[in-house]
Structure formats: structure tokens, C-alpha cells
């Protein structure tokens, strides 16, 4: 009796060994796709490149020009570049000022002023956020009719919405009323 049981068990084991096994699923790649299988090695994972800096060009609004008796009162005055000046200040405009609204600026920025000027440009003050900058008379390099960029430095800024930049003419130490400076726009470039 025991021998029959042993023979039955042997036959059952043989049948199970011969039975077809279910296939092991393998990842498929669509035709034309060259995507490699995902790596399990964390050191081989691609790093995300940093986002490039984005420049914010802030143009002054004509409605905010408050230059009383300015030598160049027309904001549409054009220079050799054909660009429209948004602000024009002359040496005879001491005490005159204008302002422009800034966007929200949070973080560290390189601040630049894009301008045209006379060699004897008037003293020029900039006030925004907690910054107070003074450009002495004649401090900006003569543009000779071309647009120039003056680096105002790297600044940590916390400028909320609705804040304004105030620009004031301090006059010209050489007493030349025909000395002038034309501000085209300011640029704030994030420093990563």
C-alpha cells in the first residue's frame, strides 16, 4: 500500500515539474523610443540644472513724470538710438523729481541703469526701498549719443507691490544748464 502511495507522489511531482511556468514580465519600450531602463543607482540620477537669470526691465510711466519747468519735458524725446527716453533731466532742473512704480523684488539683484547723457551730467539721486544712491555730477561716462549701462551694484532687495523709485536732480556743480542725463530704463537681474 505504501509503495502505491510513493509511486503516486513521484508521478505528481514529475507532472508539476513538466508543467509550463508563467512568463516573467519584462519592461517594453515603444518603437522609436530610446529611453533606457530606470537606474536604481541614486548617484547616476541626472541633476536638475538651475534656472537662468531673468532680467526685469522697468520702464517709467509717463503719468508719473512730475518734472516742473524741465528743460526736456517731453518723454517722447528721441536720441540717436531711436529709443524713447522715459526720463530727461537737465542741470538746470535742480530739485525736480520723477518716480516710477517697481515690481515686487525679493532677493539679491544686480541693478543697472540704462541711460544717455552729456559729459557734464547733473547730480542725480535714486531712492527706493531702503536704498539711497547718489550719482555725482559728471559721474556717468559720456555716451556720445549711444545707450550705455551703468552698474549700480548688487543689492539685497525687499520691495513690496506698489513701491516706487524716486529720482531727484541735484543740479550741476559746473553750472551748465545744458548738461543733461536721459534715463531709458532700469534693469534688475536676479543673482543666484
pLDDT single digits (tens) 52-106: 444 444 444 432 333 322 333 333 333 333 334 456 666 666 677 777 777 788 8
Q: Which residues of the chain have pLDDT under 50?
A: 4, 27, 33, 38, 51-85
Pick among 3.40.50.720, 1.10.730.10, 2.40.110.10, 2.60.120.260: CATH of 56-190: 2.60.120.260
Tell me the three-class secondary structure of 44-84, residue by residue. HCCCCCCCCCCCEEECCCHHHEECCCCCCCCCCCECCCCCE
Amino acid at each position: 500500500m505504501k509503495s502505491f502511495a510513493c509511486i503516486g507522489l513521484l508521478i505528481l511531482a514529475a507532472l508539476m515539474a513538466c508543467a509550463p511556468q508563467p512568463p516573467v514580465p519584462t519592461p517594453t519600450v515603444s518603437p522609436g523610443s530610446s529611453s533606457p531602463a530606470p537606474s536604481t543607482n541614486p548617484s547616476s540620477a541626472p541633476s536638475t540644472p538651475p534656472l537662468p537669470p531673468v532680467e526685469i526691465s522697468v520702464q517709467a510711466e509717463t503719468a508719473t513724470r512730475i518734472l516742473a519747468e524741465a528743460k526736456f519735458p517731453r518723454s517722447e524725446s528721441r536720441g540717436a538710438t531711436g529709443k524713447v527716453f522715459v526720463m530727461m533731466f537737465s542741470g538746470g532742473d535742480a530739485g525736480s523729481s520723477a518716480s516710477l512704480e517697481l515690481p515686487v523684488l525679493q532677493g539679491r539683484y544686480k541693478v543697472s541703469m540704462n541711460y544717455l547723457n552729456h559729459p557734464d551730467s547733473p547730480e542725480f539721486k535714486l531712492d527706493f526701498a531702503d536704498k539711497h544712491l547718489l550719482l555725482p555730477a559728471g559721474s556717468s561716462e559720456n555716451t556720445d549719443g549711444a545707450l550705455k549701462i551703468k552698474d549700480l551694484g548688487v543689492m539685497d532687495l525687499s520691495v513690496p507691490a506698489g513701491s516706487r523709485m524716486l529720482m531727484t536732480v541735484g543740479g550741476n556743480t559746473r553750472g551748465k544748464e545744458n548738461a543733461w542725463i536721459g534715463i531709458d530704463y532700469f534693469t534688475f537681474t536676479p543673482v543666484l
